[in-house]
Structure 1
Amino acid sequence: MATLIPFTSSIRCLPPTPAFAATSKPLAVLSSERKMRVPYELRKGQSRLFHELPSGLSMEVIVQEGAKPGERTGDPPLVFVHGSYHAAWCWAEHWLPFFSSRGFDCYALSLLGQGESDVPPGSVAGSLQTHAADVADFISRNLALPPVLLGHSFGGLIVQYYLANIKSGQYSEMQGSFPELAGAVLVCSVPPSGNSGLVWRYLFTKPIAAFKVTRSLAAKAFQTSVPLCKETFFSPMMEDQLVQRYQLLMKESSHMPLFDLRKLNASLPVPSIPKSTVQILVMGANNDFIVDAKGLEETGNFYRVSPICVEGVAHDLMLDCSWEKGAEAILSWLRMELV
């Protein structure tokens, strides 16, 4: 565990409080130069910390302690994993305040090369294996209770790989096993087979949409076109000013691609698992421009659960103008299944 060193920057940063001891061990905190030129202003009660990985690289973690009304204890911590062109900030905007106010300690990670996390030497993009191992290392070294792991979009694919590699409750760098989870939530997740099926369906059934998705994501046109950014990630009623704010943060979040696509395709589909003892929630959005209904159905079938499709929201379910709908559905599932 690294020595605790206060993080200093132009952004207001609140120190961690002793109350985390109920669900976590001390976090490793490292000083770091700012990676994003556009600062994300932390909300009240949040702190930005850095977890040192075995490689020596540091991973950004935005933390928000759960309020414990009536000294409520035993709620599992929540660990959030973002997708492409996003970072820890996408969870900190709405969902960290929401879930922490309901008693959950929340940890939003920025994967390597994203957000304020370090960039690997040679700017070599990660893989399902390396990203999942980094998430496992954070959980193993910092959390005293098995967490609920939540992943969005390609982050959901990382969570799926994690689920396929849980072998014991102890993390071992030699064996490559991952700590146990209390549960997992896949939010608008890329399905276990990857996004190739989505792309081909769009090409044959929605050629104009296929062109827009390709131009938006592969060519990164969402970074310069507000209408295209809105259509890709958000609902039509989202205010342009807010879309512009998130557009700029997304542009600054990715210092390198989240995945080496050749490595990613070689590791798919995600290995199948027997009926999992981990409770899994599969959640989609009915206005999702990226992951279609068949993709959501594929993921639900893979994990033998009935997926939930949230009405009136788009792909960025945690940032969209009706973000509360997804948060409330997850909270209901947590209360029903886990606590």
Structure 2
Amino acid sequence: MSSPLLRFEDWTDPVPPAEREVVSLTGDADAARPPLLFVPGLGHGAWAFAEHWLPHAAARGFAAHALTPRPGGDLRAQVHDVVQVAASLPRQAVLVGQGAGALVVAYAMGRYPVRAAVLAAPVMDGWPTLWAALRTNPFGTLPALFGGRLRLSRKQLFGPEMPVDQAQQYVERVAARPRRELVTHEPPPRPAGRPPVLVVGSPDDRIVPRTSLDRTATRYGSAPLLFPGMGHDLMLDVAWADPIEAILDWLDKELAQ
């Protein structure tokens, strides 16, 4: 039987090497704090965290890094990249995944002993998420079922207070072409060790149903921390500061124990 840390597949069919885009802010980092590695969701890159959450975390004394998923990489390749980048950091890292990036983090936790993890607006249940997308944005979702591009809408990503022009600028940067495994994947493995895991989201998220959010939080032994009125892209929405402040406060509390 293969180990989750060293699998037979990694020997027989290794993930091909790729140049990794990592954006880092480490100038004022407190050496006693663990580094943060942010993992973006479908169609997003490191830029989605570099807008607000990276500088905010750095201002709070955390070395903050964000990894852009490799183009065309499957789930296994993305998990591999997260584990490799996390292992290269000088201290045991905290992984923060958003959207489908939370699924990547959930898998990575089975192979890398995180200091803690945050799953933000986590896309963990493929079928409920797909049906929610078809109901909310059928014309943007249907092409993706046949190998085309997924065109996410402003209403899916942001709350109603988001200015239309600003929202549209972000929407145009999202280049999503989902893989079938986001729906058909197996449940993530148990985390290595017993790290604290925080699940955050919005009850008004039009991509992640509330039932899915609750189910993910229950899996990791907690209740979700909710931010009403926000959309799926918590790190870019108007009230972006509220979730990251809550995340960092939670981390401070966990690290003090």
Give TM class, smaller chain: 0.7 to 0.9
The Cα offsets for residues 90-130 of structure 1, whole Å up to 9 and x where unpaired, read as: 000000110000101111100111xxxxxxxxxxx433222
Q: Which runs of 5+ in 2 are unaligned?
A: 1-13
Residue-by-residue CA offset, 1:228-249 (whole Å, 9 max, x unaligned): 7221100112111211211222
Alignment correspondent of 1:82: 40
Distance 2:27 2:198 in 1: 21
Alignment of 1:101-180 (within 5 A): 101-113=59-71, 125-140=72-87, 142-163=88-109, 165-166=110-111, 178=112, 180=113
Task: Report the Cα distance in structure 1 between the residues aligned to 2:193 and 2:160, rounded to whole angstroms.
Answer: 38
- Kindly indicate whether residue 127 of structure 2 is the aligned counterpart of residue 196 of structure 1: yes
Aligned partners of 1:152, 1:217: CA distance in 2, in Å?
Answer: 20
1:335 to 1:137, Cα distance in 2 relative to 1, 3 A: same
Q: How does 1:170-249 map onto structure 2 within 5 Å?
A: 178=112, 180-191=113-124, 194-200=125-131, 202=132, 210-219=134-143, 223=151, 229-249=153-173
> Which residue among 187, 211, 218 is the counterpart of 1:269?
187
**Residue 42 of structure 1: aligned partner:** none
Q: What is the alpha-carbon distance in structure 1 between the residues aligned to residue 214 and residue 162 of structure 2?
A: 27
Structure 1: which amino acid aligns with 2:77?
T
Q: Is the 8 A contact 1:216 1:232 kept in 2?
A: no
**SS of residue in 1 equivalent to 2:37:** strand
TM-score w.r.t. the length of structure 1 is 0.65
Q: Indicate if the aligned counterparts of 2:134 and 2:141 stay in contact, CA closer than 8 A.
A: no
Secondary structure of 1:58's match?
Answer: coil
Identity level (%): 32
- Distance between the aligned counterparts of 1:275 and 1:246, measured in 2? 35
Aligned match of 2:25 in 64, 73, 94?
A: 64
Shift in Å, 1:314: 1.1
May I ask how many residue pairs the two structures share in their alignment?
239
**Structure 1 residues 319-328 or 303-312, which shifts more?**
303-312
Deviation at 1:222, TM superposition (A): 7.6
Query: How far apart are the structure 1 equivalents of 2:101 and 2:73?
Result: 12
Cα distance in 1 for partners of 2:191, 2:161 equals 42
> Which shifted more, 53-62 or 329-338?
53-62
- Compared with structure 1, are the counterparts of its residues 222 and 196 closer, same or farther at alpha carbon in structure 2 (3 Å cutoff)? closer
Q: Which residue matches 2:237? A: 320
Find 2:195's aligned residue among 268, 271, 278: 278
Q: Shift of the alpha carbon at 1:265?
A: 4.4
| Structure 1 match to 2:252 | 335
Structure 1, unpaired ranges of 5+: 1-52, 114-124, 167-177, 203-208
Indicate if the aligned counterparts of 2:39 and 2:101 stay in contact, CA closer than 8 A.
yes
SS at structure 1 position matched to 2:208? coil
- Report what 1:310 is aligned to: 227
Largest Rg, 1 or 2: 1
Question: How high is the TM-score relative to the length of structure 2?
Answer: 0.84
Retained in 1: the 8 A contact 2:203–2:227?
Answer: yes
Q: CA deviation at 1:150?
A: 0.5
